[in-house]
């Protein structure tokens, strides 16, 4: 069985204690059957390490470019302009991301987050690319921006919401839902929500180094843990692991044109 981790940050400093700055984690993922991974960008400091690691595994790693909502500050327009210049390079980006709204930690820059989000959504629409959406405590603001772009395609990454959230998102557009280690948590109701999403719109992710699945919860996450997430999805969908692998791989290939 082969899997695609559609959202992982193996290039972050969390992996610098290893001998080759993320290479070991990439190899473990490949050995675990996770032979393709998508790296979304965070801010201007992560562009170079992300691309350097991706370039060492051209057959296994794809990249997305964007500015994360928690990195939006007073100088966000200048920072975003610098990041957006990457789209002028000959490199192929499979998505604009990760982008969105995050009001969990700080609501100071909510208006700026919405402006930055919309600016990047427009770029994705112009480039005919999907968006990788980070949405934490900001679903209404996220949907407010998205409602003006009904033809946009993308994924709500790290989805942990309810059936009502799925319905609200689907009223705005036809989006995929990124399911990660949250689905393995005992206090999460996400497995009960999976049937409302349906196989045709589920993709798997780790969000490494965050949100490690059980039994690694609280430890550093990595892409090699994808089979644990897929097994929990299989349980929630009352099916087998191979069916999850096949469906989620097909969905990821469709969404990101892999």
Question: Residue 7: helix, strand or coil by DSSP?
Answer: coil
Q: How far apart are CA 111 and CA 158, in angstroms?
A: 23
Structure tokens at 121: 């959504």
Range of the domain at 184: 3-256
Provide the 10 A C-beta neighbour count for residue 56.
14
In angstroms, the CA 115 to CA 101 distance is 10
* pTM strictly above 0.85: yes
User: How many separate domains does the chain show?
Assistant: 1
Q: Which CATH number covers residue 134? A: 3.20.20.140
Per-residue pLDDT tens digits of the chain, which is 258 residues long: 999 999 999 999 999 887 778 999 999 999 999 999 999 999 999 999 999 999 999 999 999 999 999 999 999 999 999 999 999 999 999 999 999 999 998 889 999 999 999 999 999 999 999 999 999 999 999 999 999 999 999 999 999 999 999 999 999 999 999 999 999 999 999 999 999 999 999 999 999 999 999 999 999 999 999 999 999 999 999 999 999 999 999 999 999 999
Residue that the structure tokens 């990249």 belong to? 63
Q: Cα separations (Å) of 204 from 7, 43, 98, 233?
A: 8, 23, 16, 9
């Amino acid at each position: 069985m082969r899997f695609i981790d559609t959202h992982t940050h193996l290039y972050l400093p969390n992996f610098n204690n290893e001998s080759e700055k993320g290479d070991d984690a990439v190899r473990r993922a490949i050995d675990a059957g996770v032979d393709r991974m998508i790296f979304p960008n965070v801010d201007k400091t992560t562009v170079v390490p992300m691309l350097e690691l991706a370039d060492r595994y051209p057959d296994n790693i794809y990249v997305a470019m964007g500015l994360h909502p928690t990195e939006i500050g007073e100088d966000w327009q200048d920072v975003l302009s610098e990041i957006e210049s990457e789209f002028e390079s000959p490199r192929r980006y499979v998505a604009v991301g990760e982008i969105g709204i995050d009001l969990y930690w700080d609501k100071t820059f909510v208006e700026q987050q919405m402006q930055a989000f919309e600016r990047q959504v427009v770029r994705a629409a112009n480039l005919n690319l999907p968006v990788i959406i980070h949405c934490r405590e900001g679903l209404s603001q996220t949907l407010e921006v998205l409602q003006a772009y009904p033809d946009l395609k993308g994924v709500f990454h790290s989805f942990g919401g309810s059936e009502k959230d799925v319905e609200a998102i689907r009223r705005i557009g036809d989006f995929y839902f990124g399911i990660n280690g949250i689905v393995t948590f005992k206090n999460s109701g996400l497995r009960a929500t999976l049937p409302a999403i349906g196989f045709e719109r589920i993709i798997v992710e780790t969000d490494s180094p965050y949100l490690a699945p059980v039994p690694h919860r609280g430890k550093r996450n990595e892409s090699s843990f994808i089979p644990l997430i897929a097994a929990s999805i299989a349980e929630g969908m009352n099916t087998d692991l191979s069916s999850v692998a096949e469906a989620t791989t097909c969905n990821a290939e469709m969404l990101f044109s892999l």
